[in-house]
Amino acid sequence: MEEADCIVVGAGVVGLAIARELARSGREVLIVEAESAVGTGVSSRNSEVIHAGIYYPTGLVKTHLCTEGRVQLYAFCADYRIPHRRCGKILVATTDHEIAKLEAIKAQGNANGVDDLRWLSAAEACALEPELTCVRALLSPSTGIIDSHAFILALQGDAESHGAMVAFQTPVVGGGIENGRLVIETGGADPMRIAARTVVNAAGLGAQHLALAIKGVPAETVPLLHLAKGNYFALATRAPFSHLIYPMPVAGGLGVHLTLDLAGRARFGPDVEWIDAIDYSVDPARCASFYPAIRAYWPNLPDGALAPDYCGIRPKIERPGGSTTDFMIAGPQTHGLPGLFNLFGIESPGLTASLAIGRLLASLAN
């Protein structure tokens, strides 16, 4: 049987951030990844937004990790020269009855420590974005965008520079406690049995399946997995916007909003559908509902301007779920297995919060 100090299962942005923090604390870390490269799962299909932490209830762990992680992420980008831009986000009320919702969002953001939110009149918002239509708006200057792939590679590189190792094409198929030690079993071309002091299950969409495959983990400590597929459509031409544009939230999500990548390419979404199996196709017919939603704040959206772009699948632990659902970090006090940490429901703002999640898990594991 092989021996390891720490095993992190999953080489997505959260798993790599945890592995990096453990390695920097002096722990020996092995990252095991079922695929042949880093960041191929949830991490590869996100809007690349650096979230300010506005919407979430103040008492959630997710809220603290987002606001703390955002500060850490901007510092990381500066230190490691990760392409990013603090472009800001404009939250818009397009009718008078939405102003009360906007006021509530500002109050929530202030309670969360997002202290740079600024009111905009309709004229001020249109001065920033001439194509925008609204009756009132909020500017979030600390919202930004990032090259998520460059960030993931930097996390991997820094973890490896502190001694961490990555084993690709190494799925974890089971495990349990043997002679008082936590043992993980891997498959692939070279199956192994590894006894480890600490195991972090950061397997994203596969986290529930992995947790249930470890003998001794009570089933009642593993929440149900709900697959929330968000479809995105893109403009064929460059968008006439320099800020992210967000309408008022709707049930289960933030509405069809406009995000930008670092090249200025615009994407709109998501519209959410609940699915039973992983499916990354985007149905072009879903585009029809996007036009009226977008034209509420951008009335000049041309007919036929949108094309299917990509979809992301969030590992939600509530259905419908939304900003009020917390991240779930289940340690030994939850399931009784020493050294095991299961991460469930790490969806948006997981990328923004990743460095803070890494610091928290390293603290718990150490």
Per-domain residue ranges of the chain: 2-48+149-223+324-365, 89-141+226-316
Sign of CA dihedral 351, 310, 84, 142: negative
In this predicted model, what pLDDT tens digit does every residue of 158-208 receive, in sequence order? 999 999 999 999 999 999 999 889 999 999 888 999 999 999 999 999 999
The C-alpha atoms of residue 221 and residue 211 are separated, in whole angstroms, by 9
Give me the pLDDT at residue 155, please: 98
Mean pLDDT of 4-22: 98
Give me the pLDDT at residue 1, please: 82
Indicate if 89-141+226-316 has the same CATH topology as 2-48+149-223+324-365.
no
Give me the pLDDT at residue 251, please: 67
Q: Give yes or no for a cis peptide into 299 (omega within 30° of 0).
A: no
Give me the pLDDT at residue 323, please: 81
HSE of 139, CA atoms in CB hemisphere, 13 A: 18
Query: Is a pLDDT exceeding 80 seen at residue 149?
Result: yes
Query: Is a pLDDT exceeding 80 seen at residue 253?
Result: no
Query: Is a pLDDT exceeding 70 seen at residue 287?
Result: yes
Give DSSP secondary structure letters for 124-178. Answer: HHHHH-TT---SEEEEETT-EEE-HHHHHHHHHHHHHHTT-EEE-S--EEEEEEE
Residue type (1 letter), 11: A
The C-alpha atoms of residue 324 and residue 318 are separated, in whole angstroms, by 10
Give me the pLDDT at residue 237, please: 85
Average pLDDT of the residues of the chain? 96
Percent of the chain at pLDDT exceeding 90: 92
Which residues make Cβ contacts (< 8 Å) with residue 62, sequence separation at least 6?
A: 56, 325, 326, 327, 349, 353
Give me the pLDDT at residue 140, please: 98
Give me the pLDDT at residue 330, please: 98
> Helical H runs in 229-327?
290-295
Give me the pLDDT at residue 36, please: 96
pLDDT confidence band for 217 (50 / 70 / 90): very high
Determine the CATH number of domain 89-141+226-316: 3.30.9.10
Residue in the structure block whose two tokens are 């202030």: 110
Give me the pLDDT at residue 78, please: 98
Which residues make Cβ contacts (< 8 Å) with residue 179, sequence separation at least 6?
A: none
pLDDT confidence band for 240 (50 / 70 / 90): very high
Q: How many residues does the chain have?
A: 366
Give me the pLDDT at residue 236, please: 86
Give me the pLDDT at residue 252, please: 63
- Torsional class of 46: left (φ above 0), alpha (ψ -120 to 50), beta (otherwise): beta
Q: Give yes or no for a cis peptide into 292 (omega within 30° of 0).
A: no
In this predicted model, what pLDDT tens digit does every residue of 59-77 receive, in sequence order? 999 999 999 999 999 999 9
In this predicted model, what pLDDT tens digit does every residue of 290-339 receive, in sequence order? 999 999 999 999 999 999 999 999 999 998 877 889 999 999 999 999 99
User: Under CATH, what is the fold of the domain 2-48+149-223+324-365?
Assistant: FAD/NAD(P)-binding domain (3.50.50)
